[in-house]
């Protein structure tokens, strides 16, 4: 009993200490910033979410019956990141807030509300338009892609107009590729933002942060210049290709037009439940080794009939020889329904060896044998799907939670069914009477003479293997 009492008293003391001093200087500077457009680029476990929660609460107290909004990459990620922090802050500071789990809304006693949203939610943009807000935050900004600019400028900024001291915060960690809207606004290319930077090393409430990172560096064989260390634990923008699951290189993997050869097509199908349905059509040929991603389709919230209609249109356009389909979870029932009702010949996708398929795709990308247009969704997602280095082992890669790519899975299903990796380019046709024809015949004659001499003499010669030609 005494041990339990001691533990309880220690926890109470910890909470009382936090109540007295919940922020540290870097957090407080962010909270006190009265700029309308604010950005924060931090590492994980730096205390960014707590700072946002406090900044939201202070604005909500000032504006009764107002609606503020926190936007994550997905509804689940918004809930996982912000919801527990709001509840903890409410308990520690006595906000007397009411939490409604069904719509992820925190309501203060003055009627001010903070609503958590995910960019994957149905009618997401429609939910944001119209209602005025004194405070809006976009978190996980590094994973939003190029549509982040339109979300800020065209959708969210107009909602701030009714409040003189309204604010919009764009926050996140550095992405593995130093490019994109979040990179531009935090590195000054776009300007207009008050930018804050700090790391987990600045967070005094994270015990033994430096010891933890040093142990991780030893475990992963990182030094102080390793890109993953600089990016994830120092908050520095740096090219970190080793953190990407799929390694597209625009210099060797982009294409503008398909070569003029006979093509065979395969369409991979990824069935979405919370996510989008995705179709990816690849093309390969017996005449060349390269594989081309020729079409992508994504649609969210569609029914079986709508999906079947898109599949039939794809069949009419490409006549794919295979339609490998994700039949995990409810996918099997959906695929079977499409086969029965619409006579569309879906086949189960090979999902058992996903990482082996990724490795094979990366090998093709490295050798310039897989092509995709640099503006494609597949390429955009290749810059966003990352490896979780903390959880991965030498024999098992773990993908970081947060962003999920539907089109990437569809591409993998199609790529795995392709036999292009076994193809060799067709032999070039030699015109009779041409120099190539003369040289080929000369080599044949040379080999015949050499073989005859060897057979007669019973010994080999030092003749060259074949004649040299001009």
With a cut of 60, say whether residue 463 has pLDDT above it.
no
What band does 101 get if pLDDT is binned at 50, 70 and 90? very high
435 sits in the region (left: phi over 0; alpha: psi -120 to 50; else beta) called alpha
Q: Residues 19, 25, 26, 30: what is their CA dihedral angle, to the nearest 10 degrees?
A: 70
Q: What is the pLDDT of residues 279-293, one digit of tens each?
A: 999 999 988 999 999
With a cut of 90, say whether residue 158 has pLDDT above it.
yes
**Measured distance CA(253)–CA(372) in Å, rounded:** 6
Q: Which of 12-16, 106-110, 451-455 has the lowest mean pLDDT?
A: 12-16
Integer CA distances (angstroms), 115 to 56, 335, 386, in order: 11, 36, 28
Helix and strand tally (H, E) in the chain?
A: 16, 14
124, burial (CB in 10 Å: exposed 0-12, middle 13-18, buried 19+)? middle
**Measured distance CA(468)–CA(329) in Å, rounded:** 63
Using the Cα atoms of residue 83, residue 84, residue 89 and residue 92 in order, give the sign of their dihedral: positive
Q: What's the whole-number mean pLDDT along residues 112-135?
A: 88
Cβ(148)–Cβ(180) below 8 Å: yes
Long-range contacts of 184-189 (CB under 8 A, 24+ apart): 185/39, 186/39, 186/41, 186/237, 187/237
pLDDT, position 444: 62
Could you list the beta-strand ranges (E) of 191-257.
194-198
With a cut of 50, say whether residue 169 has pLDDT above it.
yes
* Chain centroid, CA 303 distance in Å: 25
**Measured distance CA(380)–CA(427) in Å, rounded:** 36
Answer with the residue of higher pLDDT: 226 or 122.
226
- CATH code: domain 18-234 is 3.40.50.300
With a cut of 90, say whether residue 351 has pLDDT above it.
no
What band does 259 get if pLDDT is binned at 50, 70 and 90? very high
pLDDT, position 5: 65
Please report, for the chain, the start and end positions of each structural domain, with discontinuous segments joined by +. 18-234, 250-422, 429-470
193-227 burial: b if 16+ Cβ within 10 Å, else e: bbbbbbbbbbbeeeeebeeebeebbeeeebeeebb
pLDDT, position 318: 97
- Report the residue count for the chain: 470
Mean model confidence pLDDT for the chain = 86
Count of alpha carbons within 13 angstroms of residue 90, beta-carbon side: 15
**Measured distance CA(75)–CA(448) in Å, rounded:** 74
Percent of the chain at pLDDT > 70 equals 84
pLDDT, position 373: 97
Please determine, looking at this structure, whether the domain spanning 250-422 carries the CATH number 3.30.420.240: yes
Q: pTM for the complete prediction?
A: 0.72
Q: Which of 122-131, 199-208, 226-235, 456-465 has the lowest mean pLDDT?
A: 456-465
Q: What is the pLDDT of residues 70-81, one digit of tens each?
A: 999 989 999 999
pLDDT, position 125: 84
Q: Any idea what DSSP says for residue 387?
A: B
pLDDT, position 189: 72
**Measured distance CA(430)–CA(437) in Å, rounded:** 6
């Amino acid at each position: 009993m005494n041990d339990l009492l001691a533990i309880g008293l220690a926890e109470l003391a910890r909470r009382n200490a936090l109540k007295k001093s919940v922020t540290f200087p870097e957090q407080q500077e962010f909270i006190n910033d009265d700029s309308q457009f604010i950005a924060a680029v931090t590492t994980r476990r730096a205390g960014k979410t707590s700072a946002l929660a406090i900044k939201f609460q202070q604005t909500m107290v000032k504006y009764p019956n107002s609606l503020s909004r926190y936007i994550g990459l997905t509804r689940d990620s918004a809930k996982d990141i912000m919801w527990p922090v709001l509840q903890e802050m409410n308990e520690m500071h006595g906000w007397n807030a009411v939490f409604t789990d069904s719509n992820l809304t925190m309501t203060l006693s003055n009627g001010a509300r903070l609503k958590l949203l995910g960019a994957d939610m149905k009618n997401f943009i429609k939910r944001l338009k119209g209602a005025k807000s004194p405070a809006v935050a976009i978190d996980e900004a590094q994973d939003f892609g190029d549509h982040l600019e339109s979300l800020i400028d065209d959708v969210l900024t107009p909602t701030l107009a009714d409040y003189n001291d309204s604010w919009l915060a764009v926050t996140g960690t550095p992405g593995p590729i130093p490019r994109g809207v979040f990179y531009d606004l935090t590195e000054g290319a776009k300007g207009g933002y008050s930018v804050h930077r700090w790391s987990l090393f600045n967070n005094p409430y994270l015990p033994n942060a430096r010891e933890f990172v040093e142990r991780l560096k030893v475990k992963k064989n990182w030094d102080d210049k390793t890109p993953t260390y600089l990016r994830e634990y120092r908050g520095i923008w740096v090219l970190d290709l080793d953190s990407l699951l799929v390694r597209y290189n625009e210099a060797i993997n982009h294409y503008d037009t398909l070569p003029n050869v006979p093509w065979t097509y395969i369409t991979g199908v990824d069935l979405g439940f919370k996510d989008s349905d995705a179709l990816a059509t690849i093309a390969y040929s017996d005449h060349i080794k390269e594989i081309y991603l020729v079409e992508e389709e994504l649609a969210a919230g569609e029914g079986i009939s709508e999906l079947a209609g898109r599949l039939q249109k794809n069949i009419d356009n490409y006549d794919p020889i295979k339609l490998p389909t994700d039949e995990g979870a409810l996918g099997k029932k959906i695929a079977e329904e499409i086969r029965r009702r619409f006579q569309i010949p879906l086949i189960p996708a090979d999902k058992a060896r996903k990482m082996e398929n990724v490795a094979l795709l990366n090998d093709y990308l490295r050798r310039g044998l897989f092509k995709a247009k640099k503006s494609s969704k597949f390429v955009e997602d290749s810059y966003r799907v990352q490896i979780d280095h903390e959880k991965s082992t030498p024999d098992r890669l773990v993908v970081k939670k947060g962003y999920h790519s539907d089109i990437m899975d569809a591409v993998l299903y199609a790529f795995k069914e392709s036999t292009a990796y076994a193809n060799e380019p067709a032999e070039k046709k030699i015109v009779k009477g041409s120099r190539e024809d003369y040289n080929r015949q000369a080599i044949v004659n040379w080999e015949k003479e050499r073989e005859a001499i060897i057979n007669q003499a019973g010994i080999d010669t030092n003749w060259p293997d074949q004649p040299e030609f001009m």
